[in-house]
Amino acid sequence: MFKRLVVPLTSIAAIVTLCMVVAPTSANERHAFSKDLYVIGKSATINKPVAGSVQVYRGNVTVANVIAGDLLVLGGAVVFTGAGRVEGNLIYAASKVTNADNRVRGHVYPLASVEGATASMTKNAIVASLLLVWLITAIVVTLMSGREIRLSSIEVRASGLHCFVLGLVAFTSFVLTAIAFSYLIPYVIGVPLLAALAVFAILTKVYGMIAVFHAAGTIVAGSRSRQQLASRTWLRGDLAMVVIGALILGAIRLIPIIGPIVWGLASVFAIGTALATKFGRREPWFLAWRPSEA
Amino acid sequence: MMTCDEYLQDPEEHAAHVASCETCRALIEELDDIVDVRHRAISLDALPLAPWEGASHRTWPLVAAGLAAVLILAIALFFASGVSSLNGIASAVMSAIPPVQPVVRVLQLTSHAIGVPVIALLFVAINSILFLLLRRSPKGIDV
């Protein structure tokens, strides 16, 4: 009974935690802690000078006075009017910024740079370029360690739900660990710890995605019988499965709305399968302790 | 008096025990029976395809075709949007690298918004779940 509840409960716990981290629920609607200002789910107008930073989640902000710190806007429009300016940086994601010329002393960062780049280029061209990079990386990694990729691919097909839950929990863990390490940035150890975490997370994602490419390619174009395998000249082998999987997922990625969702889900599976198989080595992450026998 | 366990640990050393023990004698007789091994013809084609079969085959024409298709698609899309293809691809690749400074700042702002106790609690809880999930051994096999 308990074992049946583990997977759904773990998934719910991971999703709730992720939501809590991504959209800070501890700050209800509009709160000011010390000198910072938090606005969640509603629009705000900065009429008075703010000594700290301003964070706006899922809402529009009109900046009519000075913000001494940074302005962070996720999912809303930013309009500068009157004497409005930001002394720090303007960081935004999925937002529209108007009249910001010469009003931001620091830098203006689109948090998701791909979205920022689409202002001057078509989004699909960027996705196709990134797919090219993915394809080259996948080919190189498969040539170097095809067996490991295959073992991880088998795991994601044999135990998909476990990989998904593990990926979800691991992603949440990465975010939380990054936040925890960000407290250590004032000290020397914080920056290398964050860098190490970032490298590990990127390696996990890249390796896992290649395993997911292999799994997708095998599901769609894998041989079902020995005769079928013998009759094929192109559609056989790890390399072919990875290329086919990458092309299929890349084509889906080009579809608006559905593409990013599918790619995101594939990323969760990827992190899960990479960690579940210890990057295809199939070794335990933790050694079990047993008392020594006399 | 020798026990059956002692005999079973070293039957050759304690061979005399068989003469006096009915149970052990029956066991030895049973083990001495001739086993009739019947060889059956195995059809390899009837067995399911193992994942490693044909896995090392490298289809270079497919790889080249895939790479060429994606490269041509990227160049064509950039050309259509009026951007230099080479610059466009280079910019797209560079744009995939997240900017470090704002990401770190967002982490710091988020941590202040949520609060240290909640972060600490979530950190311990999620990493404990991760630890438990990582203890499970992989299910898929490649034999």
**DSSP structure string for chain A:** -HHHHHHHHHHHHHHHHHHHHHTTTTS-SEE--TT-EEEESS-EEE-S-BSS-EEEESS-EEE-SEESS-EEEESSEEEE-TT-EESS-EEEES-EEES-TTTBSS-EEESSHHHHHTTTS-HHHHHHHHHHHHHHHHHHHHHH-HHHHHHHHHHHHHSHHHHHHHHHHHHHHHHHHHHHHHTTTTSTTHHHHHHHHHHHHHHHHHHHHHHHHHHHHHHHH--SSHHHHHH-SSS-SHHHHHHHHHHHHHHHHTSTTHHHHHHHHHHHHHHHHHHHTTTTT---SSPPP-PPP-
Q: Which of A65, A87, A116 is the last residue of a domain?
A: A116
Contact B133 A135 (CB under 8 A): no
More confident residue, A78 or B44: A78
Same domain, A56 and A186: no
Residue A111 is assigned to a structural domain of this protein: yes
Residuewise pLDDT in 10s, chain A (294 residues): 555 666 666 667 667 666 665 554 333 444 444 467 878 778 888 888 888 888 887 788 899 988 988 888 877 888 898 888 898 888 887 678 888 888 888 878 776 555 444 444 467 888 888 999 999 999 999 999 999 999 999 999 999 999 999 999 999 999 999 998 888 888 888 889 999 999 999 999 999 999 999 999 999 999 888 888 888 888 999 999 999 999 999 999 988 788 889 999 999 999 999 999 999 988 888 876 677 665
The total number of structural domains in chain A stands at 2
DSSP assigned state of B40:
-
Q: Measured between alpha carbons, how far is A290 from B88 in angstroms, rounded to an integer? A: 58
Q: Is the pLDDT of residue B15 over 70?
A: yes
Distances (CA, A) of A93 to A15, A72, A75, A109, B109: 21, 8, 6, 9, 15
Contact A179, A21 (CB under 8 A): yes
Partners of A120 on chain B (C-beta within 8 Å) are 83
Partners of B54 on chain A (C-beta within 8 Å) are 223, 229, 236-237
Instruction: Give pLDDT, residue B143.
Output: 47
Contact A72 B105 (CB under 8 A): yes
Which of A33, A37, A68, A75 minimizes the C-alpha distance to A55?
A37
Instruction: Give pLDDT, residue A117.
Output: 47
Which residues have CB under 8 Å from A17's CB, separation 6+? A172, A176, B122, B125, B126
More confident residue, B108 or B68: B68
For residue B46, the SS3 value is helix
Q: Which string of b and e fits A151-189 if b means at least 16 CB within 10 Å?
A: bbbbbbbebeebbbbbbbbbbbbbbbbbbbbbbeeeeee
Instruction: Give pLDDT, residue B107.
Output: 82
Same domain, A65 and A152: no
* A109 → closest Cβ in B44, B102, B140: B102
Residue A129 is assigned to a structural domain of this protein: yes
Separation of CA B111 from chain center? 35
Which residues have CB under 8 Å from A242's CB, separation 6+? A138, A139, A142, A149, A210, A213, A214, A217
Same domain, A40 and A173: no
Same domain, A226 and A101: no
Same domain, A141 and A81: no
Residue A11 is assigned to a structural domain of this protein: no
Q: Which of A116, A136, A164 is the last residue of a domain?
A: A116
Instruction: Give pLDDT, residue A94.
Output: 65
Same domain, A88 and A130: no
Q: Which of A87, A116, A145 is the last residue of a domain?
A: A116
Instruction: Give pLDDT, residue A28.
Output: 40
Residue A13 is assigned to a structural domain of this protein: no
Partners of B98 on chain A (C-beta within 8 Å) are 111, 113
Contact A179, B111 (CB under 8 A): yes
Query: Number of A:B CB contacts under 8 A?
Result: 253
Mean pLDDT of B97-122: 82
Q: What angle do CA B94, A258, B89 make, to 5 degrees?
A: 20
* B55 → closest Cβ in A133, A156, A237: A237
Q: Is the pLDDT of residue B91 over 80?
A: no
Residue A229 is assigned to a structural domain of this protein: yes
Q: Which residue segment(s) compose the domain that A271 sits in?
A: 121-276
Six-digit token string for B9: 């640990």
Same domain, A195 and A220: yes
Neighbours of B72 (CB within 10 A): 11
Same domain, A150 and A214: yes
Partners of A284 on chain B (C-beta within 8 Å) are 135, 137
- Phi/psi at A25 (5° precision): -80, -15
Which of B79, B105, B121, B137 is most worth mutating to test chain A (most A CB atoms within 10 A of its CB)?
A: B105
Instruction: Give pLDDT, residue B40.
Output: 77
Instruction: Give pLDDT, residue A4.
Output: 64
Distances (CA, A) of A13 to A32, A173, A178, A202, B112: 28, 12, 19, 24, 22
What's the gap in Å between the CA of A220 and the closest CA on chain B? 15
Least confident range from A189-198, A207-216, B91-100, B120-129: namely B91-100
Same domain, A167 and A259: yes
Residue A3 is assigned to a structural domain of this protein: no
Helix (H) or strand (E) holding B14: none
Instruction: Give pLDDT, residue A25.
Output: 39
Same domain, A39 and A125: no
Contact A170 B104 (CB under 8 A): no
Residue A25 is assigned to a structural domain of this protein: no
Neighbours of A41 (CB within 10 A): 14
Same domain, A125 and A265: yes
More confident residue, B47 or B53: B53
Residue A293 is assigned to a structural domain of this protein: no
Same domain, A70 and A186: no
